[in-house]
Amino acid sequence: MKKMMLSTLLLSTILGLSSCSNSSNTENSTTQNVDEHAGHDHADHDHSRHNHTEEAAEQQRRIEELSQKAPAQVLPQFKFYKVKSGISFSNEDIPKGKKSAFILFDPNCGHCQIEAGQLSKNYNKLKDVNIYFISMNDPALMANFLETFGKDLVGKPNVEVLYDRNQDFIQKIHVPKQFPANYVYNAEGKLQSHWDGEKNIDFILTEYTK
Give residue-wise pLDDT tens across range 73-99. Answer: 999 999 999 999 999 999 999 999 999
Please report the pLDDT score of residue 14 as a whole number: 53
Cβ(135)–Cβ(106) below 8 Å = yes
Q: Can you give the pLDDT at residue 50?
A: 53
Residues 6 or more apart whose CB falls under 8 angstroms from that of 71 comprise 173, 174, 183, 191, 194
For residue 88, the model assigns a pLDDT of: 98
Contact of 28 with 13, CB cutoff 8 Å: no
State the average pLDDT for the chain: 82
Residue 62 CB-density burial (10 A; 0-12 exposed, 13-18 middle, 19+ buried):
middle
Which segments within 4-157 are labelled E, that is strand?
79-82, 88-90, 99-104, 129-135
List phi, psi (to 5°) of 57: -65, -40
* Single-letter amino acid code for the residue at 54: E
Q: Which residues contact 84 (CB under 8 A, 6 or more apart)?
A: 143, 161
> What's residue 55's pLDDT?
75
What's the pLDDT score for residue 13?
A: 53
Contact 113, 149 (CB under 8 A): yes
pLDDT at 57: 76
- Residue pair 171/69 in contact (Cβ under 8 Å)? The answer is no
pLDDT in tens, 118-137: 999 999 999 999 999 999 99
Q: What angle (nearest 5°) sits at the alpha carbon of residue 174, between those of residues 70 and 101?
A: 100
Ranges of the chain with pLDDT below 70: 1-51, 59-60, 62-67
